[in-house]
Amino acid sequence: MPFRFVHTADIHLDSPLRSLALRDPALADLIGGATRTAFETTVTLCLDERVDALMIAGDLYDGGQTSMKTAAFLSGQLHRLEAEGIPAFIVRGNHDAESKITRELVLPASAHVFSGRAECHVLPKAADGRDVAVHGISFRDPRAPDSLLPKFKPPLPDAINIGLLHTSLGGAPGHDTYAPCSLADLAATGFEYWGLGHIHARAVHRSADPAVVMPGQPQGRDINEAGPKSVTLASITGDRAVTLSEHITAVAQFERVPVDATGLDAWRDLIDAIGSALAAARAAARCAQLVARVEVSGVSALDWRVRVDADLLLAEAQALADRLGDTWVDSVRTDLRPAPAAPDIPSGDPVAELRDLIVGTVAPSDAFRAQAREIAETLRAQLPRDSAALLGQTEAAFDDILAALIAEGTEDVIAHLLGSATGRPGTEADA
């Protein structure tokens, strides 16, 4: 019989969900429990498929969290595997190295947690009578700026060699560099399979031996971890043939849902367009729950109306999601540009004078930009690492994003002032 195993990584059990919790506590409850559900689904897959092992390539936990309830849940799931004779092989990633749970948790004897020194566990005659050697090394510290490959033991002769490694490979957007290495480095080891972790998007490299698999995370936690999330079921025969299949484990799937509002002049038409886009996204989703960020763009006379009634637009979108079922809208982002024929603010109007003052004098001033920068830097320092990266990863990018936010904020202020002074644009026509 071939050697069959489930490979997963970046589970981040019970990771805190700051932004979702602020916006929608019910949605936060769904996603907060989803990491557990996804791991439980992974264990159930192992049992249903009667695999030979579960491989976890790092980041079971999420940084410095200390809840022993998380530890008890993990231990309980691994005991489910032990009861059926299925071992687990685990390497610790950068988040595990930060976690107190890692140092305190006692796992069942069937769970093999690799230490900070390279180890090799041999499963005799596990692949069509051929030995299987599982290699791995854990992070000792949260940082690993250098490759860990030189520390691995050489492949066991005449065996199927599987390596577990938490690594950023050559780097990926939104992910810090950890234990960097290249595909060529991995190929040079002579292993049959490399089970990786750290990057949250699934990637499979099969152009040549060995099979190199980054399974992605089993459950996304926000819009930056979009798409259906899964684990990998792998099978290796005694003659070293590798077969892979993806199995969806996520409860909820995050997706950006684009809506082109070009040419839409009536509020009802915009709501209908959002409803159609959400329905299409729901139909395409591969998970039980869809969490959408609606992104409205294009050229439309509704530019002002959308700015003034942003809260109403969000409420409309959420109502549409409720009617679809198993669908959530966590936010609506707009990037509408006014139609060329849209009326401008009349010359001499107080709002027009205020806009000219803000755009021509206040916003470009060094004092205003210095104050805005100070506020933005304070906010960035308080954000989680992945969220802070959205404000730019270089000084120039940060300045560009800040300038765009100032311009966008100016238009929002003017839109609200204009709406208050004249009555919300389009309200009577759309009633």
- Among the listed residues 180, 210, 184, 207, the one whose alpha carbon sits nearest the alpha carbon of residue 195: 210
Alpha-helical runs (H) found in 86-204: 94-98, 100-104, 183-187
Using an 8 Å Cβ cutoff, are 219 and 34 in contact? yes
* pLDDT tens track for 167-208: 988 765 555 567 788 999 999 999 999 999 999 999 999 766
108 CB contacts (<8 Å, ≥6 apart)? 75, 78, 79, 82
Q: Catalogue all structural domains in the chain, each as residue range(s) with its CATH number.
A: 3-248 (3.60.21.10), 252-342 (no CATH), 346-431 (no CATH)
Helix (H, G, I), strand (E, B) or coil at 232: strand
Range of 318-327, 344-353, 412-421 with top mean pLDDT: 318-327
What pLDDT score was predicted for residue 173?
55
If you average pLDDT over residues 352-358, what whole number do you get? 73
**Range with the largest mean pLDDT of 204-213, 315-324, 373-382, 411-420:** 315-324
Inter-residue contact 155 to 190 (CB < 8 Å):
yes
User: pLDDT tens for residues 241-282?
Assistant: 999 999 999 999 999 999 999 999 999 999 999 999 999 999
Amino acid letter for position 268: R
User: In this structure, how many other beta carbons lie within 10 angstroms of the beta carbon of residue 61?
Assistant: 28
Q: How far apart are CA 189 and CA 29, in angstroms?
A: 44
pTM for the predicted model, two decimal places: 0.78
DSSP state of 237: -
| 364-396 per-position pLDDT tens digit | 888 887 888 788 778 777 766 656 666 676 777
pLDDT tens digit string along 208-218?
A: 679 999 999 99
Mean pLDDT for the chain overall: 85
* E strand intervals along 201-251: 203-205, 211-214, 230-236, 242-248
- CA distances, 355 to each of 115, 347, 351, 419 (Å): 62, 11, 6, 14
Q: 298 versus 409: which is more confidently predicted?
A: 298
Residue 350 reports pLDDT greater than 70: yes
**Which tens digits make up the pLDDT trace of 9-64?**
999 988 876 566 557 788 888 888 899 999 999 999 999 999 999 999 988 887 66
Q: Whole-angstrom Cα distance, residue 331 to residue 222? A: 11
Give CA 196 to chain center in angstroms: 17
Token look-up 């809208």 returns: 329
- pLDDT, tens digit, for every residue of 84-98? 999 999 998 865 554
pLDDT of residue 214: 96
